[in-house]
Amino acid sequence: MRRHIGAAETWARSKGLSVASDSPFALVSGADAGRPVPGVMLGKSHGDLSARNIFVQRGKKLRGDSYVLIDYDHFIDEALLAFDPMHLVVGLALDDFDRVAAEKIRADWIRAIVNPDVSDVEPEARTIRKIARQVRAGVLGAFPDRGLPSLWRRQLLLGLVGAGLMHVGRELRTKSPDDARRWCYDLAAAAAEAARRKLPGAGSGESRPPPPAAARQDNRRRRSTTIINRESERGTLRHRLTEGPFGAVVINGLAGIGKSEVLHTVLDDMESAGAADPARVYRQVLDVATRLDLKSFIDGLEGREASLTEPGHSSLTRLERVLDELGGRRVIVALDAAHNLLAEGTHELADVDLDEALELLTNERGHQVSVVLAFRGHPTSSTGGTWPGRHAPIPVPELEVDEFFKFLRHIDRDGVLRLGDLDDAFREELHGHLQGNPRSGELLHALVADADRPMALRDLATLLFQQSPAQVPHQLIRLLAERLGELRGSVLQALAAFDTPVPDSAVISALSPKHRAEDVRPALDVLNLRRVIYRNDDGDYHLPGVTGTTFLDLVPMGDAARVNLMSAAARALTVLPARPVTAVRDLRLRLAEINALLGARRMVDAYRVIEEIDMAYLFDWNCRKLVLRQRRRVRGKLGDHHREMTNEEALADISLTVGDLPAATDSFARALAKARALGGAADAQRIRINQAGAHLEAGETQQARARYRLVRDDRDGVGDLSLRMGALIGLADCDRRHGRYGAAIRNAEQALGLLELPAYPRHRVHRPGEGVHLVTPLPLAHRAERPRPGAGSSARGGLRGVPAGTGLAAGRPARRPSRSAPRRGRGGRGDPPGRGGRRAGPRQARRGGVAPGTHHVERRPSAPRRSGRGPPGDRARPQAPPT
């Protein structure tokens, strides 16, 4: 194996391909080979499985127990067990490599093998996707009691990295061996990228609690500007953060008025004071793309530098646990630009989970956690909570006249504004129209001092005095875009198209070939020096105080030119180097790429990126609502019934998580129509059963019962026993709610009986701790002992974490403990009935997945919002008494 990996590295070097830390080689023999792999499965491995040395019995589905090995040549004593099945998939793909010449199709092969759940692939790639799905299902079915599926999925990715590189180093039987080797290298690189997202960093252990962090700041923190006065606001904020009341601390004021400077000056002063018991500080500058999800919020409270990427870590139950662990320790979460948390066109938080978390923190006693939110106005609670007004907000008003002109003198170092020549009446009127806003002062100074077509201050003021004070900021932007000149105007437009901080390389890429790099970089420097744009601590540039959409709406630009600009921005974002993903904020550039693609009207491309990050991260983190607006924008524009169906199913799930049953009902109906157009009876049954679950959650039992019966009766002859099982359990719950306990028991017994049938899909067998939850208080649920933390089993006894390179090219692993206990809390797996999980209704079934409410679900959406008030996680609907 080492010989083949070495030959692969030699070939890659000869072709100019990367073998450094960003390459797939790093995971098997380089910098990333030391990353721990929790719960690794090691054992004897064949090492060379292919279509030529296995026999699959005819007349049977491709399952884990249908392989018959006819080549007993050799075995590796200790290797990653996931390597063999992945080697088989790569071998089967190479057998058909010469049949497919199109690069697009070969690229889809890679996508389908790395993520067999991907829905949007070319028809020629669907066979290899089916093979990859069945092999993965066979692996999971062969080890039903050996580790959680998330552990296996990590290891299958690692096995795929090794299998891809092994084939790079071999003699390949294809017409163009170099083309085949390059495809294998690209496959290994894609698998390595996916694996890095899911593995903890080298030298870390998932079972080890994170070390205390003195202060943590987001790497996109705004560049500091001069703060004028603000002593009163700073003193008030400092007192709130040190003496309380704790919980939500709202700062509000106009865009550009100086909220960020007040916030960061106070935090900097507190951190430099050298207190004996300093507060832990987490800072984040929010943007409209990533906003802030509850998982990242709680990670900030815990001080995690590298967040856990397991599903189920975003529940309010976890927040309560973290508060208990913190005790009386002071923690400050500083959220700058918090207006990006609001739902479009409202003053309410878009994320209901975050709203409930702020309500809990503001009303709960016994902690010293402060969440500082810098808003442009007065927020309101989307759940009717009291946190926005429970304690008085800290307003940041306009600068007084003398303070405002003191700020202008500071930035007007060349004296271009001639401030000494202004009379008091002019000063008063200019101050009033600019509302004493430092940001408006910066734009005014740029128009007078730095525009290609500069304006005298009094001439500019004459134009501004014709506007109302509220219109002045937009008028300044219009004039700036018109008068800065071709190059600098193009730079501003590019930054507006990105609508998120980006490095200079992205701006250069977007403006190429019209503008050269040696011209763009100086333009960025000048604009930053003159405060037209800002450069943050990470060296990225952005437009402050205005969204990109608003800026572009104010700039005279034709429709075709705007589409071309957004397309250039999307292209530039695509080629930026990927960063490790540990939380939603790390998806910032991918979300910006989606928005740019939408602006460029490339709906199918935008949908593909949405699906990619949704399946890789958002679903597991209960953050699918971050792409709700984007999914609605692509609705009806995907040109394919299958894509439209999948998108509508996702929209239905997201609508349920935010408590919007009418929208979910509409999406289910649209998805069902697409399934019928495709002739997909199984898809239609899955959609009906999810519809039934939604009606059950809303208390509409009769509608739920009708749909469960359609699936149970199976008039279309689908024959999927897992769906039938879900329907029976749903009917049992309907009966229980109506007090028909005898009928509920009979339906539940029928559901359990399906597990004993030979035709029941074995790869969907329930696992310990993830038993058959009958969503009733009846004693019929499968009784499976929940594994203890750190307990479990592997191929040789005992879940453990070992380095990523183990069994591929590295040596014998060092033993590490792992966290293998099922997760608890609202929206996570392993919740017992009545303990805060989604137990009142069936679970959502996914495409290619399993029946809702029955047994192990591959991924699980968060529960719909509670209709009533009360402790987070409590069910509003009373349970029936036990029989």
- Spatial separation of the C-alpha atoms in residues 480 and 720, rounded to whole Å: 63
629 vs 96, higher pLDDT = 629
Residue 593 pLDDT > 90, yes or no? yes
pLDDT digits (tens, 9 = 90+) for 660-700: 889 999 999 999 999 999 988 888 998 999 999 888 888 88
- Spatial separation of the C-alpha atoms in residues 851 and 395, rounded to whole Å: 52
Confidence of residue 847 (pLDDT cuts 50, 70, 90): very low
Note whether 593 and 573 are within 8 A (CB). yes
Question: pLDDT over 90 for what percent of the chain?
Answer: 36
Residues 6+ apart with CB under 8 A from 25: 5, 8, 9, 12, 19, 165
Lowest mean pLDDT among 56-70, 156-170, 531-545, 773-787: 773-787
pLDDT digits (tens, 9 = 90+) for 122-169: 888 888 888 888 888 777 766 554 444 456 677 888 888 888 888 888
Tokens of 3: 């010989």
Task: Please report which residue ranges of 401-530 form alpha helices under DSSP H.
Answer: 401-411, 424-434, 438-449, 457-465, 472-483, 486-498, 504-511, 517-529
3-class SS shares of the chain: helix, strand, coil, % to 5:
50, 5, 45
* CB-based contacts of 647-653 (< 8 A; 24+ apart in sequence): 647/607, 648/674, 649/687, 649/690, 649/847, 650/614, 650/624, 652/690, 652/694, 653/624, 653/690, 653/844, 653/861
- Spatial separation of the C-alpha atoms in residues 684 and 677, rounded to whole Å: 10
Torsion of CA 168, 171, 172, 176, to 10 degrees: 90
> What does each C-alpha distance from 333 to 12, 76, 245, 536 come to in angstroms?
46, 51, 15, 19
Tokens of 473: 């900021």
Q: Which residues pair with 284 in a beta bridge?
A: 335
Can you give the pLDDT at residue 769?
31
Can you give the pLDDT at residue 362?
94
Q: Compute the mean pLDDT over every residue in the chain, rounded to the nearest whole number.
A: 77
801 vs 367, higher pLDDT = 367
Residues 6+ apart with CB under 8 A from 274: none
- Spatial separation of the C-alpha atoms in residues 274 and 270, rounded to whole Å: 8
Can you give the pLDDT at residue 747?
92
Spatial CA neighbour of 287 closest among 699, 609, 685, 589: 589
Q: What is the CA radius of gyration of the chain?
A: 29
Phi, psi for 42 (deg, rounded to 5): -115, 150
The answer, yes or no, to whether the previous bond of 513 is cis (omega within 30 of 0) is yes
Spatial CA neighbour of 859 closest among 831, 881, 825, 827: 827
Can you give the pLDDT at residue 862?
34
Tokens of 269: 């002063």
567 vs 214, higher pLDDT = 567
56 vs 458, higher pLDDT = 458
- Spatial separation of the C-alpha atoms in residues 661 and 651, rounded to whole Å: 11
Can you give the pLDDT at residue 586?
86
* CB-based contacts of 102-111 (< 8 A; 24+ apart in sequence): 106/183, 107/186, 109/183, 109/187, 110/183, 110/186, 110/187, 110/190, 111/190
Helix 149-168 × helix 177-198 angle, to 10°: 150
Can you give the pLDDT at residue 38?
52
- Spatial separation of the C-alpha atoms in residues 285 and 224, rounded to whole Å: 13
- Spatial separation of the C-alpha atoms in residues 338 and 290, rounded to whole Å: 12
- The 8-class DSSP code of residue 452 comes to S
Helix 472-483 × helix 438-449 angle, to 10°: 30
Where does residue 230 fall: left (phi above 0), alpha (psi -120 to 50 degrees), or beta otherwise? left
- The 8-class DSSP code of residue 284 comes to E
- The 8-class DSSP code of residue 297 comes to H
- Spatial separation of the C-alpha atoms in residues 126 and 116, rounded to whole Å: 10
Sign of CA dihedral 633, 637, 640, 641: positive
Residue with tokens 């698998």: 191
Note whether 103 and 119 are within 8 A (CB). no
pLDDT digits (tens, 9 = 90+) for 264-273: 999 988 888 7
Phi, psi for 373 (deg, rounded to 5): -120, 120
Across the range 499-527, mean pLDDT stands at 94
238 vs 762, higher pLDDT = 238
pLDDT digits (tens, 9 = 90+) for 726-778: 999 999 999 999 889 999 999 999 988 888 888 877 544 333 333 333 333 23
Helices (H) then strands (E): counts for the chain: 32, 14
Can you give the pLDDT at residue 305?
56
Beta-sheet strands, E only, within 778-818: 802-803
Can you give the pLDDT at residue 820?
28
22 vs 86, higher pLDDT = 86
- The 8-class DSSP code of residue 31 comes to G
Residue with tokens 């018959």: 68
Q: Which residues pair with 767 in a beta bridge?
A: 770
> What does each C-alpha distance from 845 to 694, 830, 850 come to in angstroms?
12, 17, 6
Tokens of 556: 């005279």
Residues 6+ apart with CB under 8 A from 107: 186
Q: Which residues pair with 69 in a beta bridge?
A: 54
Lowest mean pLDDT among 15-29, 430-444, 785-799: 785-799
Note whether 467 and 475 are within 8 A (CB). yes
Longest CA pairwise span in the chain (Å): 97
Can you give the pLDDT at residue 8?
81
Spatial CA neighbour of 158 closest among 223, 248, 85: 85
Note whether 815 and 821 are within 8 A (CB). no
- Spatial separation of the C-alpha atoms in residues 441 and 405, rounded to whole Å: 9
Lowest mean pLDDT among 28-42, 440-454, 817-831: 817-831
One-letter-per-residue 3-state SS of 490-511 = HHHHHHHHHCCCECHHHHHHHH
- As a residue count, the chain comes to 883
